[in-house]
C-alpha cells in the first residue's frame, strides 16, 4: 500500500513536507519551512532559543509531530519536545529528497536527524552551500549541509548525496527519477517515483513560460501516464502570463528612456534568469553593470556547475562596495568574513570594486543591481538624479510582512526622488499552464499542493479533466492511500 502524508505545503503556498510511504520504506519529498504557519507565531525578534526550537515549533505546528525524525542533540536538551513526540507516529524515513534551493522546500532539513540522508541536485547543493557561506547568522535553521552539535559544539557534516536529471535513486522499495523543471532558481527538479508497480509524479515548483520551459516539458514526457500527480498550484487563480522576454523588453525600454540617469534594479538574489536578462540589457545599452558582492559570488560559483552557462561579464561589470566600518571602503578594515575574502579575490582578479560616491559622479554609465531591500540605503550615498528609475523586478508582496517591507521601500524611493517602475515574470505557472501540464500528463489521480485555493483547483480539474479523480490532502485528512 502506498500512502502519502501531507505534513506541509498542503492548503498553503510553500512549506512542502510530503512523506511517501510504501511498505516499510518512507521518503520525504522536501522538508521546507512553512512560512505561513511560522509567521503566525514568530518574527525576527520573537523566535525560539536553541533548547526550545523543537518544542515551540511542534506546539505551534511549524513542524509536524512525527517521532524519530528530528535532531537527537536538540531533543536531549528539550524535554517538552520529547514528551510531545512520545505518542506521535514514528514512520520509517529512508531519506529526504529536496526539489530545489528555495527555503520553503529545504529550510527545515536543518532540524532533521543527521541519520536521515538528504538527496539534492548537484547545483542545488552548490546554491545551498553559497547561502550557508554568505549568511551572517549561524542560526540553527541555517544548518543544512553541516550542523553544530549543541552538546559537544562540534561541527558535523550531514549525509548529502547529489543527483542529476536521468539518475535513478533506489531507496527502500522506491525508485526515484529526478527530472529538471523550469523555475526561478537553477537546478529545480520534479520527480517520477515508482513503488510496487505504482507510479507517482511530483512537480516541485515549476513554470512553463520561462526561458528554459523545455525543461518542464522533459518532465511532462517522463511523467506521462503516471497513476498519481502531485502538482503545485501557487498561481491557479491567475491567468496572466508574463514571460522573461516581456521583462527584457520593459527593462530595455526604461533604460533607453532614462538616458543620463542612474538605473537601479531590485532583483532576487538567486533569480539567475533575471540576472541574465539584466546583463543582456546592460550590454545592449552600453551600460556597465554593478552587482552586489553576494550575487557576484553566486555567479562565480555557478561557473563550476555542470550544464549552467554563466554569461561572461568581462570588463563590463563591477561590484558594489557597501559603506561599512570606517566608511572609507577599506577592504581589510571595513569588511569581514566571506565578504572580505570575496572582495579580495575579486580585486586580485582585476574586477573593479566601486563605491557610492564614485557611482554618483558617473550616473548615466551604470545599471545598479540591488538584491536586498536594505540596499536602498546605499542610494542615499549615491544620490541619484531626481527622476532616476528604481525598477522592482521581484514578485509582489504576498503577506503582511512583505507589504510593510514594500511600504518602507516606497518611502525611501519617495524620499530620494526615485521613479518606481515594476516588471516581473513569475517562477510559477499560471492557470492555463497548470491545466495544460495536468492534461498532458494524464494521471488518474490529481493531488493539488502548494496552493491556497484547492476549491478552484478542484473545480477546474473536474471541468477540464472529467476522467481524472481529484484527491485532497491535509486538514482532517492528512494521510491518503494511493492506488
User: From the list 205, 232, 244, 378, which residue makes contact with Zn ion (rule: CB under 5 A)?
Assistant: 205
- Report, in Å, the least distance between residue 429 CB and Zn ion: 12
- Report, in Å, the least distance between residue 100 CB and Zn ion: 6
Residue 265: count of CB within 10 angstroms of its CB = 27
180 lines the binding site for Zn ion (CB under 5 A): no
- Report, in Å, the least distance between residue 288 CB and Zn ion: 31
Q: Which residue has the cell 536531549?
A: 76
**Residue nearer to Zn ion on the CB measure, 13 or 290:** 13
Q: Is 476 exposed, middle or buried (0-12, 13-18, 19+ CB in 10 A)?
A: exposed
DSSP letter string, 17-55? EEEEEETTEEEEEEE---HHHHHHH--SSS---GGGHHH
Task: Please check whether residue 17 is in contact with residue 64, taking contact to mean a CB–CB distance below 8 angstroms.
Answer: yes
**Residue nearer to Zn ion on the CB measure, 73 or 205:** 205
Binding mask 63-102 for Zn ion (x = CB under 5 A): ---------------------------------------x
Find, among 232, 296, 192, the residue nearest to 427 by Cα: 232
198 vs 483: CA distance, rounded Å: 7
Binding mask 97-126 for Zn ion (x = CB under 5 A): -----x------------------------
**Residue nearer to Zn ion on the CB measure, 184 or 342:** 184
Binding mask 302-341 for Zn ion (x = CB under 5 A): ----------------------------------------
461 vs 297: CA distance, rounded Å: 43
207 lines the binding site for Zn ion (CB under 5 A): no
280-318 burial code (b ≥16 CB/10 A, e <16): ebbbeeebbbbbbbbbbbbbbebeebeeeebeebeeebb
Give me the residues paired with residue 46 across strands. none
Residues of span 4-43 touching Zn ion by CB under 5 A? none
**Residue nearer to Zn ion on the CB measure, 7 or 85:** 7
287 lines the binding site for Zn ion (CB under 5 A): no
**Residue nearer to Zn ion on the CB measure, 205 or 244:** 205
- The 3-state DSSP class for residue 375 equals helix
**Residue nearer to Zn ion on the CB measure, 35 or 58:** 35
- Report, in Å, the least distance between residue 279 CB and Zn ion: 22
Q: Is 45 exposed, middle or buried (0-12, 13-18, 19+ CB in 10 A)?
A: exposed
- The three-state (H, E, C) secondary structure of 403-420, written as one string: HHHHHHHHHHHHHCCCEE
271 lines the binding site for Zn ion (CB under 5 A): no
212 lines the binding site for Zn ion (CB under 5 A): no
369 vs 270: CA distance, rounded Å: 13
**Residue nearer to Zn ion on the CB measure, 205 or 322:** 205
**Residue nearer to Zn ion on the CB measure, 103 or 150:** 103
Options 106-114, 202-210, 217-225, 251-259: segment touching Zn ion (CB under 5 A): 202-210
194 lines the binding site for Zn ion (CB under 5 A): no
| Furthest C-alpha separation in the chain | 69
**Residue nearer to Zn ion on the CB measure, 120 or 413:** 120
Task: Please check whether residue 18 is in contact with residue 5, taking contact to mean a CB–CB distance below 8 angstroms.
Answer: yes
- Report, in Å, the least distance between residue 235 CB and Zn ion: 12
Q: How many residues bind Zn ion (CB under 5 A)?
A: 2
244 lines the binding site for Zn ion (CB under 5 A): no
Residues that bind Zn ion (CB under 5 A): 102, 205
Amino acid at each position: 500500500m502506498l500512502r502519502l502524508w501531507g505534513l506541509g505545503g498542503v492548503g498553503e503556498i510553500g512549506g512542502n513536507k510530503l512523506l511517501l510511504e510504501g511498505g516499510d520504506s518512507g521518503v520525504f519529498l522536501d522538508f521546507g519551512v512553512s512560512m505561513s504557519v511560522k509567521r503566525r507565531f514568530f518574527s525576527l525578534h520573537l523566535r525560539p532559543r536553541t533548547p526550545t526550537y523543537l518544542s515551540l515549533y511542534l506546539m505551534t505546528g511549524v513542524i509536524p509531530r512525527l517521532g524519530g525524525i528530528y535532531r537527537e542533540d536538540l531533543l536531549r536538551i528539550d524535554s517538552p519536545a520529547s514528551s510531545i513526540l512520545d505518542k506521535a507516529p514514528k514512520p520509517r524515513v529512508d531519506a529526504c529528497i529536496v526539489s530545489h534551493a528555495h527555503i520553503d522546500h529545504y529550510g527545515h532539513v536543518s532540524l532533521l536527524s543527521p541519520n536521515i540522508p538528504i538527496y539534492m541536485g548537484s547545483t542545488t547543493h552548490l546554491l545551498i552551500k553559497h547561502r550557508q557561506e554568505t549568511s551572517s547568522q549561524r542560526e540553527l535553521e541555517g544548518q543544512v549541509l553541516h550542523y553544530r552539535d549543541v552538546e559537544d559544539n562540534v561541527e558535523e557534516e550531514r549525509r548529502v548525496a547529489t543527483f542529476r536529471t536521468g539518475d535513478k535513486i533506489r531507496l527502500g522499495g522506491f525508485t526515484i527519477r529526478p527530472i529538471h523543471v523550469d523555475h526561478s532558481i537553477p537546478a529545480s527538479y520534479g520527480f517520477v517515483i515508482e513503488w510496487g508497480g505504482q507510479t507517482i509524479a511530483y512537480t516541485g515548483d515549476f513554470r512553463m513560460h520561462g526561458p528554459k520551459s523545455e525543461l518542464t516539458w522533459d518532465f511532462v514526457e517522463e511523467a506521462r501516464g503516471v497513476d498519481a500527480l502531485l502538482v503545485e498550484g501557487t498561481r491557479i487563480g491567475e491567468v496572466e502570463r508574463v514571460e522573461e522576454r516581456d521583462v527584457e523588453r520593459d527593462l530595455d525600454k526604461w533604460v533607453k528612456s532614462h538616458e543620463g540617469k542612474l538605473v537601479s534594479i531590485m532583483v532576487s538574489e538567486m533569480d539567475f534568469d533575471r540576472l541574465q536578462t539584466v546583463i543582456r540589457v546592460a550590454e545592449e545599452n552600453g551600460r556597465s553593470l554593478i552587482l552586489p558582492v553576494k550575487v557576484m559570488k553566486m555567479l562565480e560559483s555557478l561557473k563550476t556547475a555542470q550544464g549552467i552557462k554563466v554569461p561572461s561579464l568581462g570588463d563590463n561589470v563591477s561590484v558594489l562596495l557597501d559603506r561599512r566600518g570606517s566608511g572609507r571602503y577599506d577592504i581589510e578594515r571595513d569588511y569581514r568574513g566571506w565578504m572580505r575574502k570575496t572582495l579580495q579575490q575579486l580585486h586580485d582578479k582585476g574586477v573593479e570594486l566601486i563605491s557610492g560616491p564614485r557611482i554618483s559622479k558617473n550616473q548615466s554609465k551604470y545599471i545598479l543591481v540591488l538584491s536586498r531591500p536594505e540596499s536602498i540605503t546605499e542610494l542615499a550615498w549615491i544620490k541619484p538624479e531626481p527622476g532616476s528609475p528604481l525598477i522592482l523586478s521581484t514578485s509582489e508582496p504576498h503577506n503582511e510582512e512583505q507589504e510593510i517591507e514594500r511600504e518602507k521601500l516606497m518611502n525611501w524611493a519617495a524620499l530620494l526622488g526615485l521613479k518606481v517602475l515594476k516588471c516581473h515574470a513569475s517562477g510559477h505557472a499560471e492557470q492555463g499552464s497548470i491545466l495544460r501540464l495536468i492534461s498532458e500528463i494524464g494521471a488518474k489521480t490529481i493531488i493539488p499542493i502548494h496552493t491556497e485555493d484547492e476549491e478552484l483547483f478542484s473545480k477546474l480539474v473536474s471541468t477540464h479533466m472529467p476522467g481524472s479523480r481529484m484527491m485532497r490532502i491535509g486538514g482532517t485528512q492528512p494521510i491518503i492511500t494511493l492506488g
